[in-house]
Structure 1
Amino acid sequence: MDAATIAINQRMNKFDGHAQVWLFGYGSLIYKADFPYLERRPASIAGWTRRFWQGSHDHRGTPMAPGRVATIVPQAGAVCDGMAYLITPEVFAHLDHREKNGYLRLATDITFDDGSKVEGLVYIANEENAAFLGAAPELDIARQIARSNGPSGPNSEYLLHLASALRELGKSDPHVFAIEQHLAQLKDAPPAAQ
């Protein structure tokens, strides 16, 4: 599948006719809501885990030197914590453009911190999209993040903001925090050791 997903997402009609839709964010959407929303609540989705397996050619890297950003992958028993936003359908044009590098809309059950649930949607980048980089050791992911930079800024900034946002929510993510720790060690290491 081509990494450009705007047209595919525009064909999703699951929520046509809805005046409002809940959107679940697990990456930069947790801390960077650059769109209007009606309500914002901590939430989670079950059966998914966050991974830095998606390439970023348009925000945190370039086509020749992609960065790594978060996606979610299926994992039995896992819970992915994040932030849910109640939005109107007009916001989809902005989100489809923001998430155009391989992310597809997917309907999912969202669970709020009070235990209540609602059907909403999430953008995921699966292994079938051209920008998918896949699994790698967390140290290698940190090395790639450390050297990547794109139109939206340094890739490290994305990782550090996400780790900070998860801590503010009181949530743990061993994958994100391990990459963050490796990144800090790389920063402190002499250039030859990197």
Structure 2
Amino acid sequence: MSPNDSEKSTVRESEGIWVFGYGSLIWKPPIHYESKQIGYIKNYVRRFWQHSEDHRGTPEKPGRVVTLIPYDEWKNIESVEGHDKVTWGVAFKIPTDDVEATRAYLDHREKNGYTVHTVDVYSLEDDTTPVVRNAMVYIGTTDNEQFVGPAPATEIAKQIHETYGPSGWNAEYLLNLAQALRKISPGVRDDHVFELEKLVNELIEKSNGSLSPAVRWSPRIALFKTERNVAHSLLQLVGSDLEEVG
């Protein structure tokens, strides 16, 4: 990448902003964007350690959605073996005229414990010069009230499998994320997400789509009961007009 290319990638707010998505924004982007850049950020780890009471769960039975954990914090919580210290996602360019509306939309969408931070985004072709500088990103930090932290993968999978909120089944969120990550970069590695995907799919197969009462009555979930490939069924809902979080 030439110095000129790097300069063009450094976007000031007067020229619009970039927003980095690492969760539901990957498959359900901001309302207004003019371009996107697949890439990754350094020194963060994506984890299903954030409770969702407003989208993928309820206050009585919260779901779990992703947040970003700084690597230096994460290494004191879990084993760092095998992690390459990068998190893949998609950066979206928001034009100047739509910045205010987009920020208001995202502030509402990410209201359940998330705060705004900035990150540099790198591409597969160049791991030294950011392709986007100072992209806005929403993170549920480890001191926010919805941060729930780690648990055994089987427990997290069970919680995701059993919870449902205004934006739908928590498992839909997880399976959409796993499939979206594979699409944006064939070589992407996220053992945490893919392990949960495997465990939740096993739970779905065992239950034949029969979940908690809140999920069973949903006509959206009824679609899954007659579909052998559950992940494929969930991806058909990507065009849904429901709000997502993460």
TM-score normalised by structure 1 residue count: 0.86
Query: Counterpart of 2:165?
Result: 150
Alignment of 1:188 with 2:205, yes or no, is yes
Q: How many residues align?
A: 177
- Structure 1 unaligned runs (5+)? 1-14
Query: Counterpart of 1:37?
Result: 33
C-alpha distance in structure 2 between counterparts of 1:190 and 1:37, whole Å = 40
Query: Counterpart of 2:194?
Result: 177
Task: Give the deviation of 1:81 after TM superposition.
Answer: 0.3
Query: Counterpart of 1:102?
Result: 113
Task: Give the deviation of 1:128 after TM superposition.
Answer: 1.2
Query: Counterpart of 1:126?
Result: 141
Task: Give the deviation of 1:172 after TM superposition.
Answer: 2.2
2:43 alignment partner, SS class: strand
Alignment of 1:1-194 (within 5 A): 17-75=13-71, 78-88=85-95, 89-90=99-100, 91-115=102-126, 116-117=129-130, 118-169=133-184, 170=186, 171-189=188-206
Task: Give the deviation of 1:18 after TM superposition.
Answer: 2.6
CA 1:130–1:23: 2 relative to 1, 3 Å:
same
- Per-residue CA shift, 1:137-163, capped at 9, x if unaligned? 111110000000000000000000000
Task: Give the deviation of 1:109 after TM superposition.
Answer: 1.2
Residues 24 and 43 of structure 1 are in contact (CA less than 8 Å); yes or no, is this contact kept in structure 2?
no
CA 1:17–1:158: 2 relative to 1, 3 Å:
closer
C-alpha distance in structure 1 between counterparts of 2:27 and 2:207, whole Å = 32
Task: Give the deviation of 1:16 after TM superposition.
Answer: 8.3
Task: Give the deviation of 1:75 after TM superposition.
Answer: 1.3
Q: Which has the higher strand share?
A: 1
1:189 alignment partner, SS class: helix
Residues 30 and 106 of structure 2 are in contact (CA less than 8 Å); yes or no, is this contact kept in structure 1?
no
C-alpha distance in structure 1 between counterparts of 2:85 and 2:159, whole Å = 26
Task: Give the deviation of 1:114 after TM superposition.
Answer: 3.3
1:43 alignment partner, SS class: strand
- Structure 2 unaligned runs (5+)? 1-10, 73-83, 209-246
C-alpha distance in structure 1 between counterparts of 2:30 and 2:14, whole Å = 22
CA 1:163–1:18: 2 relative to 1, 3 Å:
same
Identity of aligned residues (%): 44
TM-score normalised by structure 2 residue count: 0.68
Is 49-58 or 18-27 further displaced after alignment?
A: 18-27
